[in-house]
Each structure stands twice: as structure tokens, then as C-alpha cells.
Structure 1
Amino acid sequence: MPGSRLLLLLLLLSGLRPIPAMEEDPTFPHLGESSQPPPRACPSRCSCPRADTVDCAGLDLRVFPDNITRATQHLSLQNNQLQELPYNELSRLRGLRTLNLHHNVLSSEGLPDEAFESLTELEHFYVANNKLSVAPQFLPRSIRVVDLAANQVMEIFPLTFGEKPALRSVYLHNNQLANTGLPLDAFRGSEAVATLSLSSNRLRYLPPSLPPSLERLHLQNNFISKVPRGALGRHRHLRELYLQHNKLTDSGVDNSTFSKLHSLEYLDLSHNQLGSVPAGLPGNLAVLHLGRNRIRQVEGARLRGARGLRYLLLQHNELGPSGLPAGALRPLRGLHTLHLYGNGLDRVPQALPRRLRALVLPHNRVAALGARDLAATPRLLELNLAYNLLTSARVHRRAFRRLRALRSLDLAGNQLTQLPSGLPVTLHSLRLQRNRLRALEPEPLAGLVQLREFSVAHNGLRVGDIGPGTWHELQALQVLDLSHNQLSFVPPDLPETLEELHLQGNRIGHIGSEAFLSTPRLRALFLRANRLHLTSISAEAFLGLPHLRVVDTAGNPEQVLVRLPPKTTRAPRAGGS
């Protein structure tokens, strides 16, 4: 029997399996060599989580790292101290797709234009928060996102962003760009740019020849006083336009400025010098921000085109008693929110859109609420009349009768001496702080079984001013603010559902063992700046409060001894089984 057959027979008899002959395979490890692949080269102190990724961020590097493999596609060098990039090192990384240089000290001289000629695959280039004075003269055609924000850029070149068919987003905010630094053909051949940020520069008029493909355009915080005729005529895809904090006047816009922006949904013109609502607003507009201008009157005719408007913000203008004529907003049938904060209106505007859900009218001069002043807005969810001139004698007992969906009512900072009557039973939040309330009685609060937050802070109330049964029907109350009154002890019979109780700034000098028997769910108690001393709080006061975790007693005459109850293993949820 030949020797090979004899060896095979012996192996079979011994129960061992023969080793198959090796085939010639270059990937197969030779005998005596490790089967593990050789370690990849990675620059010192950097990390290389994948074969195509090198992360050298936040290492305080002052020199471009060596030993970066040519297979690298994503290179992160942000948060270092790099002043320049060597051309020969950068240009050999021909497969680079992402280059992140945020937060270094690169100057324009330290960023070689020639290197980008080799980076033909580069898609994402981030170099914000450096010291560039001019943009790179050339970027590859493959580029998709460029972030040059927060530099000192004063000039853009035609091929910085021009002839870039894949370019989608450009960020140039917080630079020193004037109109002269932005060439007319800056985006020629780049027909896919959707986002352009030029905010916080030195522009004096809206640049012409911006990409017609734009969907979001940021121009806030410039010195723009004019939008040249036709400057936005081709931008039919524009959805968001930010022009706040500029110097726009009525003469700087005309009837055609916005009229062709058929896709526009958000327009911010706040913090300008407009004296009236711009004409020619597009029908698709959903949000119009006109706060902090000089508008004295709202002309209904100028809003007729914006029938889709949902949010109209007119706070801090110069609207006087006749600034919002009856019916001026009637064309806005879908209006959801109207902000009129900080004007000079002396009454609730008449004939408001019936679908209005939020009316924000604080810091005006409204002195009365009639029986029908709010009748046109039965769907209101939020009504804010804080810091007006309302008195109890001039709030009609049926003023809130039609508001059958109201959840939030803010009447803080008025001159009310008693709780309004006829409050909607749907209320979740009622704010009456900083009034002149003389008493709290149960009748006005009857039926408010959904009320969760109630504030009567800063009213001068004493415990004797709170009538018996005041809290009886407040079966859902969780937050009660009685701070900065004249209470000498904790009011009795507080709602069982209470979780947060504000009593700071009163005259409380003693808290007995039964003070919180009615509030077993209390979680936070604020007793700051009262008249408590070392032993003013009974040792048993908190024993029945297993959920109590916060007791604030700072600012009293003496440090107060507080003994919290032992922490339960699992606190039951309020209202749970």
C-alpha cells in the first residue's frame, strides 16, 4: 500500500480528520503568520473609527497631521489651532468627501486654492469660525454644502459657488460681506441651491441674481433698506424669507416685492422701520412677523391676498385706538394666532376671525370688556390681556360667556378688585397676579374642575380674605401661587390634587402639624422670605407628604430646620390607580 494511503488509513482509524491541501489564495494567511489584518495607519492621537474616517478634533493641533491614508473620505480637524493647510498633504487626499475645519485660526493665505483642484470628490466643506478674509477662489463641482460662517470674509469669487450643479446649502452669516463683495454671477450654473444664509453682514440692499432655486434665504441683521424691483421675481420655490433687523421702510418695498413668491410660507420683517403692512402678500403665506416696526394702522386691503395666514405678529408697533379697524382682519379666515403685545389699543379689536385660537394683547390700554367684545371668537384657546387697565367694574359679567373652549386666561397686572364672574369651565390656567384683589370667594371659581394652574400672587391677600370653600371645586389644581401676599399662616383646606405651592414673600411665622393634611400629593413647597425661625415648622408638618422633594426656606430671619419624609420606593402618580 502506498505511503499516502497508509497515512490516510491510520488517521481514519484514530478518529482524526485529514487536513485538506491548501489552495493558492493570496488572501489566505501563510503558516506561521498571524490571521489578523495588519493595523491601519492612523495619525498620532487621532481616532479612525472606520477605514474611510479620520477624527482629529479637539486636540489643540498646530500642524496638519501626517500619516493620513489616501483612502480617507471624511476628515475632521475642527477645534484645533491650525493656521495653514499644506498643499501637498491636502491635495493627495483625492477621495475626500468631507473636510471639517470649524474653529481653527486659518487665514485665507493658509488655505491653498490649488489644493481644491485635486479634491474632485469633496461634498461637504466646513470652515466656520476661522479668520478667512476672502472665500476660496475655487471649489470643486462636486461640492454640496459649504459653511464659511463667522469669518471675516469680504469677497466672494465667481467660481467659489458658481458652476456647482450639486450645491445645496451655503452658509455665509457673521462675516463682513458688502454688496460689492458679492459678484452678480456668484451662483451662475448652480441651479440646486436651496439654503443661503447671508445674515449678519454689511449688505445694504437685497442682492440681485440669487439662485432661483432657493427655498430658505436668511438676510437678517444687515443694513438693507431696499429690495430692488424684480430682485425676488424668479424665486417661486422660496418658502422662508428672513429680513428682520434691517432698515426697511415703506419706500424700500413695493406691491410686487413679495407678490410672485407663490410658495412663501414664512416672512419675517420684524425690527425694521415699516409704517404699514406691505402690499402684495402671497396667498400661501402662513406666518407674517411684523413686530418692532412703526405701523400705526392695519389696512384690511393689504391682507386680502394673504388668505392662508395662520400667525400674524404685530407686537411693539404704534397701533393706537384706531390702529386695527373693525373687520380689518376678517379676510384672514384661517388665522390661528394674533400677537398685539405692546401697542396702544384701548379695546379688544372688533370682528376678529372666528377661527382665532390665540389672542395675545398684553401691555396695551384696554380698560373694559363688554358682553360682546369676545363673542366673535368662540374658538379661543388662549386669551392674554395682562398689563392693561381693566377694572372689575368694567368687566361685564358675561364677557367670557362665549369662550367655551378657552384653556388659558391671563389677566395679570390689571386693576381688578375681585375675581371675574362667568369664567369658562374649560380653563386650565388662570393668572391674576399683580391686581388689587380684596377677596377670594368660591362662587367665581365654581365649576372650574379642569383648572390646573392658578396664580393670585402680589395681591395683598390675607388668610381672612379667602372664603370658606374657595378651593372646593378645584379638583384638578396642581400649581397654586399665593406668593407675595400678606398671609400669616398656610391657608386651610387646600385642594387634594395640589403638587406645587408658592407661599414665598408672605408673613408666615409658624407651620403647624396639620398645615398640609389636605395636600398629600405635594411635591414642591416655596416658603422663601417669610418670618420663619429655627423651630417654626412642626416636626410632623411633612409626615403625610411622601412625594415632597423641594422645600425652599431661604431668606427667612433664621435658618429653618426642615425634615423631609422618608423617600418611598415608588411614588404613585397623581390620579393613578
Structure 2
Amino acid sequence: MTEMRTVIGLLLAVVQVAVAAHEDGEHVGCQVARLTQISDPLSVLGAEIVDCPNFCHCPSLERVDCSAANLQAVPGNISRTTTYLMLNKNRLEHLSSECFNACPLIRTLDLQENQLSDEGLTDNTFAPLVDLHHLYLAENRLQQVPRGLPDTLITLNLAGNEIKRIDPHTLTNMKLRHLYLHDNLLSNSGVRRKVFRGLAHLEEVTLSNNAFLGVPPLPTSSELIYLQDNGIESIADGAFRRVRKARLLFLQKNKLSDEGITRRSFAGLRRVEYMDLSDNKLTRVPNYLPTKVKRLHLERNKISNVSKEALSRLKRVEYLLLQQNNIKTSGIETGAFSRLHRLHTLHLFRNHLTEIPKQLPKKLRVLVLLNNDINVINSDDFNTSRGINELDVRYNKLTNPGIARGSLRKLRSLHKVDFSGNKLRAVPVFPRNVTTVLLMTNHIYRIPPHALARMPLLTHLYLSNNRLTDDGIPDRVFTRNARLKTLDLGENNLTSVPVNLPVNIEHLNLASNRIKAIAKETFLHTPYLKVVHLQDNDLLPETVSRAAFLHLRYLQRIDITWRPRTTQYNLPQGSASERHKRDLSHTWPTKTGWVREKCKSKPSACLNGELVVWPNRKRRRKVS
């Protein structure tokens, strides 16, 4: 123990000498110790004593974080053991050839969001960093790719600068895999033909948001190519002929037209699985797209024609996105989708369809047709696509007579169906395997008894914003729906809570109706209720029976408000309603600890250990 104390004393003496030397301005390299950095002298025994630069954070011997420190120069006392150095979000303008001499082991250097220019970097600035793998120079003032970059680089980020051209000699004989050049000023004239020839290992190149009018020369080894947000108007023949390893190609938000894509435009792209051509000026689905593409984005164009020839070669496509175009039913050639044998997701929403396209592929699973003008579902629409799991026809013009009898029963794999925002007057009959039905914002005034009886697996039913009345919901309409967990009947014309609710229901929405009373036996047969919404009804404190909620062991939240009346109603003094008259919390309960505290002090105001608060006639809170 005595020897240990002696060692600690010597160590502290060394630290104090080093601190004194540092304070006197004596040069001690990049390994200067600070007494304030050592809280436990035993922890540094046998380890190198390092200094953390002012205004920086050093979580370990290898990491130095000087980001957002308002630095104008690189600190001189960076440890030699540093491998990760963050200098981003500072005011650096110049980096000399000696600023990294003392820390040559840096592998990741972050210089983003500074004020570095071409004049502020020398050819030897990064020469001491013999093991540099990742260099981030985004958001500076560079006008060209820096010279003298280490050939050990794997990632080079030059995004958000003012680079107009790339010198062919700056990117040679490097091991780069990821090159980020987006958000610059590059044009076709600034990228020469052989500029990427020396990058044999490059996998990802981002050239988006530049000033290209055509496809520039690309590295032959690239797998991910980003060319979106440019001004590309056409793709020359053979533009991708040397990029045979490409798997993802992004060309969205350009100015591509039908004439700008020729038969040989995509020649050579033999491995492309993802292609994005959205937000262009196409009026038809292009012919001669890469045959192995699996996900094809064509949304937000001006497409009005979908031909069988254009799609027949895309036998591996799985996702086809054609939403927000000008497609009409007459613009889709009969059988255009029939040969897409692997297609399982088709988006055609926000077009001008009046019918469901014919001869859909057998393996289709998700069909999205919302925001069209569809007014009819024919009996043969799903003859070839009976495996659909999700059908979305929201905000069309469907009526009950417009749905052919038995047209939907063919979809025996259907689990989720959304017919919201149409003109239905009654709940349609859906296949028995359906679990989720959304029918909001229709004109529904009744639920036929047989409609729900044929869906025994139903778990979620949404009927809000319709015209349902008490007479429109038969007494035993939910008898066959024992699995129903969520029932949304908000924004209708109900004056009472429906009887014979499903016994297993957990979430019940009855908000914005005309319900006048909650009787003691209202929820007697629904013991698993967790959430009940009753706000914006015609409820009064004396018409809500507190006993209706006493047996609900799983109750987590109740929302209740009532519409103020023009005439004042005076409660009898000392009545139960007067005693319990309080503001109603619109989230009941919320903070568990607070609720328990209140329940202990006022047990009479609690249900099952939860705080109960009742409406106050003088003030009404808007429920969010």
C-alpha cells in the first residue's frame, strides 16, 4: 500500500508539472495532461495521459469531438491516439500541411459546415493521415475536388459545395466506395469521360441536384446511382452500357419525356432492381425498361397510356407505382397487367379511372385505387386476382347498386378493405375473412343484419361520419362478431348506446352523436372495454350513471363532454350530481402517479383506482 501511494504521488507531481508547462506556453506536443481531466489517479496508471482541447469533448482516447465549438483553427493538442476527429460546424477557413502531423492515426475526419475553400487547402493537407478512411467536407465553399487525397479513402463526402468540374487527376488509384457529390454545380461539361476510371471499387455515387442535362459518365463499378433533381431531358443510347453492376437507379425529378428515352437508353442495365422515374414529363409507360426491375416508380408524371407491350417485358416487377397521373380506364390496354406474374402491389390512386382495370395479375396482394372516379365494381373485375389482401377504394363514387352482387366474395384472402369517402347508404357484404373494414364518410344510415354476420373474423369496424340512427343498428347485429375489438360509430345520429355490443370490444367511439343518457346497465356485457369516447353528445351530469363504469376492470380512458344549453339548469343542493360536478379530464387517466395520489385522498372519486371527473356546466374543454 505504501508503494502504491508513492506511485500515485509521483504521478500527481508529473501531472502538475505538465499542467504548469502548458500554462506557461511551453510546447509539449499533442500529449499534454490536464489535472482537471483526471478524477481518479488510479484509472490512468499504465495508460497514456492525454489532453482534451479547449471547448471539445473527448469520450475516449480515440474520439475527439470539437463540433460547434466556434473554432477558427485546428487545435494543436490533439492526442496522437485519436482515430475519430469531429471539427464540423466551426469557422475553419484554412488547413495547413502541418495541422494533422501530430495525429496521423485519424481514420474518420469530419469537416462539414465550415468555410473551407480551394485556397484554404494545400496539396499536402491530408498527406499525414496515412490511414484516413472517411472524409466529410460537405457544406463548405469548395469549387473543385481537393488534390492530394489519401488513397486509403473509402468515403468522400463533398456534397453542398460549389464544385463545377472534376479534375481527372484528383480521383485516381483510390479505394473509394462511396462518393457524395450532390447539391453542387456540376454539369456535363464539368465531368469528363474518364474522370471516374481510377475508381475501380466505387459502389455508390450521388450526383443529384446538380446541373446535368444528360446522363454524365459513370463509374463502371457503381451499384447505387443517384441522378435525381437535375435537368436531364434525354438519355442517350448506351448511356449506362458500362454500368452493368448497377442495382438502384434514381432519375426522379428531371425533365425526361417520351422522346428522351430510346430503345437503347437503358442498354447494359442487367441487374437493376429499383428504378425511380417519378416526377418527370412522361405521357406513357416507357418501352424497353430494364427487364429485371422489381420496383418501378412512375408516379407524378403525365402518363395517360399504359400499353401491354410496355409492361410485358417486366416479368419480375413486384411494386408498380402509377399514382398521380392522367390515366383513364380507356387508357389502360386490356390485359396490360396480366403478364406481370410477380406483381403484388399496384398503386393507381389519384388518376381518372371509372372502373377497376381488367385482368389483374394472379399474385396481386395490394391494390390502391383511392381518389379516382370509380362508380362501379363489376362481377368479373377480380376474376384473375382473387388473392388480394388489401383493397383501397377510398374517395370514389361508389354506391350500393354500383357494387355487383358477389363481386367482392371472390376475394377470399381479403383482410383489409377501405371504402371510405364514397356514396354508400348501407354496409356492403364483404368476404368472411375480412378483419378490418373502413367505411367512414359515407351516407350509411343502416347496417343490414346479414352484412356483419358474414364476417365472423372482423376485429376493426370504422363507421364514423355517416347517418346512422338507433333504428339503423338492429339489436343483434353484432352477434356473430365475437372478435370485434374496435368499433367506431362517432359523428352519427345515435341517441343511445347500441345494445348487445360485442362482448370482447376494447375501443368504442360514440363521440359527436346525440346520446342523452348512460344507464347503469349500458356496458354491463362489455367487461373488456379499455377506451370509451363519449364527448360532444347531449349528456348531462345527472344522466350519466357512475355505476355504468364500476365493473370495467380494464378501463384506461373515458372522454366525456356535453353541449351547453341556453337555459340554466339548477341542481338540487346536496345531490349526488352536485357533489361530483367537476371538469372532465379529456384523458382519463393519464399520469398514473398523480391519479393514484388523488385516489388515496378522495376514494369516493375513484373507479378501480382511477380518478373520475364529471362535467362542469360552466366550462367546456375542446377534446383534442
Q: What is the TM-score of this pair, normalised by structure 1?
A: 0.86
Equivalent position SS for 1:267 = strand
1:463-497, CA deviations, whole angstroms, 9 ceiling, x for partnerless residues? 22111112222222222221221222322222222
- Counterpart of 2:214 in structure 1 is 205
User: Does residue 323 of the first structure (1) align with residue 331 of the second (2)?
Assistant: yes
Equivalent position SS for 1:398 = coil
Say which of 584, 587, 606 aligns to 1:561: 584
User: How many residues align structurally?
Assistant: 538
Where does 1:59-138 land on structure 2 (aligned, <5 Å)? Answer: 59-138=69-148
Deviation at 1:68, TM superposition (A): 0.6
Deviation at 1:523, TM superposition (A): 2.5
- Counterpart of 2:279 in structure 1 is 271
1:134-170, CA deviations, whole angstroms, 9 ceiling, x for partnerless residues? 432342211110122233433433244x214310011
User: Does residue 511 of the first structure (1) align with residue 518 of the second (2)?
Assistant: yes
Equivalent position SS for 1:75 = strand
Amino acid at match of 2:301: N
- Counterpart of 2:181 in structure 1 is 172
User: Does residue 445 of the first structure (1) align with residue 452 of the second (2)?
Assistant: yes
Q: For 2:7 and 2:326, how far apart are their aligned partners in 1?
A: 86
- Counterpart of 1:26 in structure 2 is none
Deviation at 1:557, TM superposition (A): 4.1
Where does 1:173-188 land on structure 2 (aligned, <5 Å)? Answer: 173-188=182-197
User: Does residue 341 of the first structure (1) align with residue 364 of the second (2)?
Assistant: no
Aligned residues of 2:254 and 2:280 also touching (Cα < 8 A): yes
Say which of 441, 458, 461 aligns to 1:454: 461
User: Does residue 428 of the first structure (1) align with residue 435 of the second (2)?
Assistant: yes
Q: 1:174 to 1:490 in 2, by over 3 A?
A: farther
- Counterpart of 1:296 in structure 2 is 304
User: Does residue 502 of the first structure (1) align with residue 509 of the second (2)?
Assistant: yes
Aligned residues of 1:255 and 1:278 also touching (Cα < 8 A): no
Amino acid at match of 1:48: C
Say which of 147, 155, 160 aligns to 1:145: 155
Q: For 1:42 and 1:279, how far apart are their aligned partners in 2?
A: 61
Aligned residues of 2:329 and 2:357 also touching (Cα < 8 A): no
Say which of 471, 483, 494 aligns to 2:478: 471
Q: 1:75 to 1:409 in 2, by over 3 A?
A: same
Aligned residues of 2:237 and 2:267 also touching (Cα < 8 A): no
Equivalent position SS for 1:480 = strand
Aligned residues of 1:368 and 1:390 also touching (Cα < 8 A): yes
Equivalent position SS for 2:484 = coil
- Counterpart of 2:50 in structure 1 is 40
User: Does residue 484 of the first structure (1) align with residue 491 of the second (2)?
Assistant: yes
1:269-306, CA deviations, whole angstroms, 9 ceiling, x for partnerless residues? 11111011111122211011111111111111122221
Q: For 1:156 and 1:111, how far apart are their aligned partners in 2?
A: 16
RMSD: 2.6
Aligned residues of 1:156 and 1:186 also touching (Cα < 8 A): yes
Q: For 1:62 and 1:553, how far apart are their aligned partners in 2?
A: 60
Deviation at 1:227, TM superposition (A): 1.4
Where does 1:145-294 land on structure 2 (aligned, <5 Å)? Answer: 145-160=155-170, 162-207=171-216, 209-294=217-302
1:356-407, CA deviations, whole angstroms, 9 ceiling, x for partnerless residues? 1111111222211222221211111111122222111121220112111111
Q: For 2:340 and 2:71, how far apart are their aligned partners in 1?
A: 58
Say which of 410, 414, 418 aligns to 1:402: 410
Amino acid at match of 2:206: S
Equivalent position SS for 2:417 = strand
Aligned residues of 1:242 and 1:267 also touching (Cα < 8 A): yes
User: Matched residues, percent identical?
Assistant: 36
Deviation at 1:86, TM superposition (A): 4.3
1:94-120, CA deviations, whole angstroms, 9 ceiling, x for partnerless residues? 332110123444444444443023333
- Counterpart of 2:63 in structure 1 is 53
Q: For 2:218 and 2:469, how far apart are their aligned partners in 1?
A: 65
Q: 1:430 to 1:32 in 2, by over 3 A?
A: closer
Equivalent position SS for 1:170 = strand
- Counterpart of 1:8 in structure 2 is none
- Counterpart of 1:12 in structure 2 is none
Q: 1:31 to 1:82 in 2, by over 3 A?
A: closer
Aligned residues of 2:539 and 2:561 also touching (Cα < 8 A): no
Q: 1:159 to 1:449 in 2, by over 3 A?
A: farther
- Counterpart of 2:619 in structure 1 is none
Amino acid at match of 1:71: T
Q: For 2:331 and 2:320, how far apart are their aligned partners in 1?
A: 15
Q: 1:472 to 1:153 in 2, by over 3 A?
A: farther
Of 515-524 and 525-534, more deviation after overlay is shown by 525-534
User: Does residue 351 of the first structure (1) align with residue 359 of the second (2)?
Assistant: yes
**Unmatched 5+ residue regions in structure 2?**
1-5, 12-41, 566-581, 590-606, 611-624
User: Does residue 547 of the first structure (1) align with residue 570 of the second (2)?
Assistant: no
1:250-280, CA deviations, whole angstroms, 9 ceiling, x for partnerless residues? 1111112224211000111111110111111
**Unmatched 5+ residue regions in structure 1?**
1-28, 569-577
- Counterpart of 2:531 in structure 1 is 524
Aligned residues of 1:553 and 1:560 also touching (Cα < 8 A): no
